[in-house]
Amino acid sequence: MNSHIAAVEALLASLPGDVAYGDATGHTPPYVLLWSSAGNAGLEASVTGESGMSDLLGVTWVHATPRNALALAALGRPLLDGVKPTVTGRSVLLTLESSEPVRVDRDVTLTTTNTHPAYIVDRFRLVSVPA
């Protein structure tokens, strides 16, 4: 799964801010947080086959305000949805499967503005089969 995450990070490199995986400690908005399981072999076995993998990749778009979070997601989604990330020896496809409404994280306060960041959570289906 590490090579798949690295390929997705590369796809998002043109966005403003950082791209983090699993933990965004120390990052300030804007940033994108990726998260996943270790990959589910056998999930959707009829599609992927024995050596395939299908999993949901979480993508959290984080910015200083709800409208900015919407704008960041609007920039980032086309970089991922329907895209085939390059992973050596694999054929990979990402498709947007679900999206949650924009939310404000009241547990975090931005020190420069004394406001709370906003975020949107998307889930992308990642299907990977041998090339």
Query: In this model, does residue 130 exceed pLDDT 60?
Result: yes
- Which tens digits make up the pLDDT trace of 53-87? 888 999 999 999 999 999 999 999 999 999 999 99
For tokens 């024995």, the residue is 50
Within 13 Å of residue 22, how many CA atoms lie on the same side as its CB? 7
pTM of the model: 0.90
Question: What local confidence, expressed as pLDDT, does residue 121 receive?
Answer: 98
Question: Is 13 within 8 Å of 38 (Cβ atoms)?
Answer: no
Predicted pLDDT at 17: 96
pLDDT one-digit tens code per residue, 34-50? 999 876 665 444 554 55
